[in-house]
Amino acid sequence: MEITPYFETLLALLFFVIAFVYSSVGMGGGSSYTALMAIIGMSATVIPMVSLSLNLVVSSIGSFNFLRNKHGKFHIILPFLISAVPFSYLGGALHLPKEVFLWVLLVSLIVVAMRIYLWKDTGFRVDLTHKQKIIISLSAGSILGLVAGIVGIGGGIYLVPLIIILNIGSTKEAAATGAIFVWTVSLSGLISRLQYNSINLMEYIPIIAAVVVGGFLGSYMGSTRLSPKAMEKILGIIVLVAIVFLFKKILF
């Protein structure tokens, strides 16, 4: 489709909002970046590469801000990364047909929405042994890593509440872990994809700039002032809108 200056500005604004909201709760925004690019008709080969690149930008800023405020804990993130890194690399090597890619993306977004609206209470804690926590961390890391490599979704939206429920860390520590996790699996998935395809990021400078600004402001506000619950409600609205448009694109 033809990208007019007006449409390019609107697109950059949308990416700014997505980056701000997601980064405020320690996430990269890959689910909504990917959905938005799919809706406007970008190639199924290009979409994950751009989305993973944008995830890297946002989560780099988010990781810095959360670590600077001493919320990041190495012992929390390591078990997830052990399995996530190789699986995200594997996911990046898979090349799905466009129709399959769109359905995987749609299902991923529906699960995201269910997580936000049906799994609201992260105030309870599951009493598990250290060994059980490690097993769950390794399992979750492998699944989230694989999805990240395939469609460009970082997985932070699932990881953050999981850390809280498993009683591994506080809300801020979970957000910091989410940012670091998204950065790592996005890098692994992108490296895998770049072995088979190339991308000229200069063509996406406007949205990259919007993501940088939105990611910095969102992660700064999220690590200091904003309420994670309030930002997650806004995130839910973004995801629902993306689901509707993506569903229409697939069926019609």
Kindly give the confidence (pLDDT) of every residue in the chain, 252 residues in length, as a single tens digit, with 9 standing for 90 and above.
Answer: 445 677 788 889 999 988 888 777 767 678 888 888 888 888 888 888 888 888 888 778 777 777 776 666 777 888 899 999 999 999 988 888 888 888 988 988 888 888 778 765 555 567 778 888 889 889 999 999 998 888 888 777 778 778 887 878 777 778 788 888 888 999 999 999 888 887 887 888 888 899 889 888 887 787 667 676 777 778 888 888 889 988 888 887
Residue 4 lies in a domain: no
- The amino acid occupying position 89 is Y
Angle at 50 between CA 236 and CA 233, to 5 degrees: 10
Number of domains in the chain: 1
Separation between Cα atoms, residue 147 and residue 163, nearest integer Å = 19
Q: Is 160 left (phi over 0), alpha (psi -120 to 50) or beta?
A: alpha
pLDDT at residue 120, rounded to an integer = 59
Angle at 43 between CA 39 and CA 48, to 5 degrees: 85
pLDDT at residue 72, rounded to an integer = 66
Residue 220 lies in a domain: yes
Residue 2 lies in a domain: no
Q: What is the pTM of this model?
A: 0.79
- The amino acid occupying position 18 is I
pLDDT at residue 129, rounded to an integer = 82
Separation between Cα atoms, residue 44 and residue 236, nearest integer Å = 24
pLDDT at residue 163, rounded to an integer = 83
Q: Which of 184, 99, 108 is nearest to 141 (CA)?
A: 184
Domain that holds residue 82: 9-197+204-251
What DSSP letter does each residue of 69-115 carry, written as one string? TT---HHHHHHHHHHHHHHHHHHHH----HHHHHHHHHHHHHHHHHH
Residue 185 lies in a domain: yes
pLDDT at residue 192, rounded to an integer = 92
- The amino acid occupying position 142 is S
Q: Which of 77, 86, 174 is nearest to 122 (CA)?
A: 174
Residue 71 φ/ψ, nearest 5 degrees: -95, -20
- Residue 205 class from Cβ within 10 Å (0-12 exposed, 13-18 middle, 19+ buried)? exposed
pLDDT at residue 128, rounded to an integer = 77
Residue 1 lies in a domain: no
Place of tokens 């699944």: 143
Say which DSSP state 15 is in: H
pLDDT at residue 152, rounded to an integer = 82
pLDDT at residue 83, rounded to an integer = 92
Residue 3 lies in a domain: no
Separation between Cα atoms, residue 37 and residue 35, nearest integer Å = 6
Residue 78 lies in a domain: yes
Q: Is 155 left (phi over 0), alpha (psi -120 to 50) or beta?
A: left
Q: Which of 162, 170, 174, 173 is nearest to 136 (CA)?
A: 162
Residue 127 lies in a domain: yes
Structure tokens at 176: 């910091």
pLDDT at residue 87, rounded to an integer = 94
